[in-house]
Structure 1
Amino acid sequence: MAILDLIDPIPQGFFGLSGDLRSGHNTYFYETDGQSFEADTIGRYIGEGLGGIVFRLMDEDSNPTDKVLKVVRILGPGESWNAYAQKNKPWEPLIGSKVVAMNQFQSMLMEDLYLKQKANVECPSGIPKVYSFAEGTMRPTFLDKVEQAAQELNIPEKDLAPFFKTFTPGTHIAYWIMEYVPYRKDSRPPYGGFAPYPRPKDAATLAKARAFRKEQKAYREIAPWLLAEGWVVRDTINPDNFGFREDGSCVFYDLLVCPFPPSREQGDLRSMANALMGPREYDAYERLIESGRYFDYRTQQGAYSAEEE
């Protein structure tokens, strides 16, 4: 096993964000065993989503492991989201202001999942297993590892161009190592045959049709659990955000969450939450939760999709 210690921690032991990014109050919290953790070598490029880039990890013999590494752009100490939003388009892949806001909350959740699972706190089966988490500034050695993987595995240059353009040295990032989900939309057959594809886009059909019972079971477990943790989960209809393990259990591996209610955050985090969920959207989620419909009817990016029959 190699030590994957590829970013500069800020400050020493820095492990997360809480509260107002600009004021510095309640911004840092620490873990006693530090930032470094054991991991395998960066391997094959899996893909680029709206928010981040994912790599499969390999063992010392260059065999693929059951883990992946996801890297996302987030804001660090001294960076103002409001100032960032004035300079960047909202939904530009990897670096848009709303994309960074989305990444910020997902990284907060992943860090929390890592700490919970490390402490053997029981989580729903539909929640991904998170083995490690870190954040800090991009280090040249990280980029060298990716370049090495590209050469050894013949990863096309065009596939990695967004990575090298976005994650330059000094860029503040978060990354986590999580379980590899083998059966996804792009598997053959799609989802390993555990769910049909093509598939409907409306929440009502997904909630009622027997063919989708495995993914619905997972959603019905994660939705109330995440809400109790202070999050609503969005875009769970998206066929790219979930998959199936070898045993056929469904896992929502790309959890797009937003604080609920947004008022539980302050400062820049509050601004990010409001950017992702305006008053009408908040009211829609509140209606869904109060009626109980939220726990059966999955959503697209907006809550309104779950209000339709």
Structure 2
Amino acid sequence: MKWSGRRSSENFEDKRGMSSGGKTIIGGGIIGIVILLLNVFGGENGQMIGNILQQTQGSQNEPTEQRELSATEKKEGKIIEAILVDTEDVWKKIFQENNLQYERPNLVLFTDSYETGCGTATSASGPFYCPADQKVYMDLAFFEELETKFGAQGGDFTKAYVIAHEIGHHVQTLLGTAINMRKLQQGKSQAEANKLSVALELQADFYAGVWTHYNQKMNNFLEEGDIDQALSAAHAVGDDAIQSKIQGRIVPESFTHGTSAQRKAWFMKGYKTGDINQGDTFAEIR
């Protein structure tokens, strides 16, 4: 993935290197919360993420010290910022084409734990979008776990896919899709509510594909193997793949994010069409 030469973003917050003394993280790392949720990243439907963070957070103190980031960490930060910048430019263009105004979200990098509008995020939370403060939060340790524990390909475009998915949830917030979905979930059985959650997540994957389509036209940023990285990550975070790996059996009615095949298919539909109007993932459950 070609990322150098991008402008800086005022919406990028690098809080890595800050540490606090005396915090306790419950959940045993990303795998612990995966067992709880049977997903890896996402879970961004308002009250849900707040409840999840409440379950996984421990005591939290204010940062007591800050260390200098290594050269590798600084480079990682530049890559993440470049991806964020590209999402800002692409979605601004798409919204303008539809006579809408795009409001840019912030992206926060942290290590260990960080206070968010949805509660205390920890390294166990995985990347997520918080609608309460309209920010994306992530600890980059997630990507090592995604590769080593769940078999996803490593690489910069794996990060781009995940970030684009989370920004997709911000788009859903701006368009009112997320709040409408939460209203539809009210009074539904858990299985029916889960189907709506799956539709929301698959649409975020579709938006990640749309972003990739537009950004390729605008910046010619793709390199050989990039799309394969995205598909590998999408496969790794499918509900069926995770359930099979974690619990040894698949329970479709408990899916919240979609199968590996669905996630890959909706990403590719967005990438191939580049048409935001073709992402009605809710059609099948209306």
Bigger-Rg structure (1/2) = 1
Same fold by TM (over 0.5)? no
Greater percentage in strand: 1
Larger relative contact order (Cα-Cα within 8 Å, sequence gap ≥ 6): 2
TM-score normalised by length of structure 2: 0.30
